Structure 1
Amino acid sequence: MNAIEKQLYASPRNNSYMYIITGILLVLFIWSLSAVHLENMEESGLAIAKSILFGIVTPDLDLLLNFTTQGVIYLLVETIAIAFLGTIIGTILAIPLAFLSASNVVPKPVAFLTRLLLIFIRTIPSLVYGLMFIRVTGPGPFAGVLTVALISIGMLAKLFVDAIEDLDTSIFESMTSIGCTSFEKIRYGIIPQLFAMFLSIGIYRFDMNLREASILGLVGAGGIGAPLIFAMNAYRWNEVGSILIGLVVLIFIVELWSNHSRTKLIRG
């Protein structure tokens, strides 16, 4: 015990390093506070904040429980459809790009160029993609699906690459020694190792895309975002409350399902 205590006390002290890091973080925090301007808040802004809270507490139940195409339920289903289809398309496109980015599968120059492409895709915000696709396809859910698919590719491919590079390659040597073909190596050597991980990552991305699909509606790419911004611009806070309640309940349910499904996949 004494030897352990002596070793502990003999360990080098990094107090000066900690002081420097703390000082830098403190300076950055104080500098960030310069962006806060409470004097710009007007009485009308506080009144609007109260109206928003009142609208959430007293939502428009007719809109919330309406089963027509103008109701919250239909808009939430449309948002789910946009996120789901966009995730499926993005996953299908991300898989070959992931293999092209894996340095243990393709030559390093090919992997480097593919990773540059994925970095470029991830750099552009989703709203910018949404505005671009709206100019191409016009406003509506289809633009939302294309946007969700494109923004999914970058992150999915990056996570898929990590899984591919962690493959147990020793199994391939054993399969080669018993005369397995390339198709058999992929079918029985690669797919069993990657399927559960890829599916878990895809479910996680669907959870994120549900929020993205909600935001994309703000620029006219379908889903529940457009009615939300229209209701806010018209100061119809009861409708805003109905939409927000429906959105929170939907995301909460999907979050529970996503966590449960991914836990089962990871644990086998």
Structure 2
Amino acid sequence: MNAEIKKQLERQPKTWVFQIICALVFVILVAWSSSAVKFTGLAQGGMDIAKNILVGIFTPDPELLFNFTNQGVPYLLLETMCIAFLGTIVGAILAVPIAFLSATNIVPKPVALIGRLIIMAVRTIPAFVYGLMFIRVTGPGPFAGLLTMSLCSIGMVSKMYIESIEDMDIKILESLDACGCTTFQKIRYGILPQLMPDFASTIIYRFDMNLRDATVLGLVGAGGIGAPLIFAMNAYRWNEVGAILAGLIILVLVIEFISGKIRVKLARG
């Protein structure tokens, strides 16, 4: 038995040369990339600034954190969450017809190819660029953030919808068709029961992503808590930065816990 194993090992291809070449290429790439890093921009008091940042973050301003006016952290977090939620809902609704027009098992391949190209084009542009574009159209504020979140959601949600639609069991529709069901009945009893769990899970996952993206969009004036955060950082008010980050962490943890419970419920039926 040992002799057979030894012969089998001897017959295996020798890959150590290829592995050494890959390791050398990796080391060369790391060294070449490191050559572009410049440390001359570090200030002499960098350690003092880093210390002030850490102290401010871990000692948040309680007045800002528990300020329930429209200038406080709770209101700004609520605005950020509303932007992310409404943007997700609008994007998820608009993504449904695009996904069906891009699924190869529903429409002809040329039509599906056009739909996929549109989705690819939408996904190519970063959310930051969309935010700047909509701010020029609607002006700064939460509405620009809502439009940005909606458009960004279409690209990713449509792609996930397409995968669910193409994995759909067509035999169920054929059975309903043989029973003489109308198109509405086939959609109601054959398509929606198969797709709704996957669609709902995709929407929840996208909402988690939009909640973080909405914070970044505030940096360009698209509403939410991002603008106060960047203003506090530019003014070196690290206690306010700590209060805003503490509120964000709490909000993300709560949303993550709730969304995780919902996804588990959807997966297990």
TM-score range, shorter chain: over 0.9
2-side partners of 1:19 and 1:259: how far apart?
A: 43
2:184 is paired with a residue whose SS is helix
Aligned to 2:214: 213
Distance change (3 Å), C-alpha of 1:9 and 1:263 = farther
Aligned to 1:226: 227
Aligned to 1:198: 199
Alignment of 1:131-210 (within 5 A): 131-210=132-211
* TM-score, normalised with respect to structure 2: 0.94
Deviation at 1:19, TM superposition (A): 2.8
2-side partners of 1:184 and 1:23: how far apart?
A: 62
1-side partners of 2:162 and 2:9: how far apart?
A: 41
Q: 1:169-218, CA deviations, whole angstroms, 9 ceiling, x for partnerless residues? A: 12122222222222111111111110000000000000000000000000
Distance change (3 Å), C-alpha of 1:4 and 1:264 = farther
* TM-score, normalised with respect to structure 1: 0.95
Report the RMSD for the aligned CA atoms in angstroms: 1.6
Q: Which moved more, 1:166-175 or 1:196-205?
A: 166-175
1-side partners of 2:179 and 2:18: how far apart?
A: 57
**Does structure 1 residue 110 correspond to structure 2 residue 128?**
no
2-side partners of 1:35 and 1:61: how far apart?
A: 42
Deviation at 1:44, TM superposition (A): 3.2
Deviation at 1:4, TM superposition (A): 6.0
Q: Which residue identity lines up with residue 112 of structure 1 in the other structure? A: L
Alignment of 1:1-268 (within 5 A): 6-268=7-269
2-side partners of 1:146 and 1:224: how far apart?
A: 17
Count of matched residue positions in the alignment of Structure 1 and Structure 2: 268
Q: Which residue identity lines up with residue 128 of structure 2 in the other structure? A: L
1-side partners of 2:157 and 2:6: how far apart?
A: 48
2-side partners of 1:170 and 1:15: how far apart?
A: 50
1-side partners of 2:184 and 2:208: how far apart?
A: 33
Deviation at 1:6, TM superposition (A): 4.6
Deviation at 1:35, TM superposition (A): 3.2
Q: 1:121-164, CA deviations, whole angstroms, 9 ceiling, x for partnerless residues? A: 11111111101111111110000000000011000001111111
Structure 1 gap segments, 5+ residues each: none
1-side partners of 2:244 and 2:107: how far apart?
A: 48
1-side partners of 2:187 and 2:14: how far apart?
A: 52
Distance change (3 Å), C-alpha of 1:264 and 1:6 = farther
1-side partners of 2:190 and 2:112: how far apart?
A: 22
1-side partners of 2:191 and 2:73: how far apart?
A: 43
2:169 is paired with a residue whose SS is coil
Deviation at 1:20, TM superposition (A): 3.0
2-side partners of 1:49 and 1:236: how far apart?
A: 13
Q: Which residue identity lines up with residue 251 of structure 2 in the other structure? A: L
Q: Which residue identity lines up with residue 218 of structure 2 in the other structure? A: G
Q: Which moved more, 1:203-212 or 1:104-113?
A: 104-113
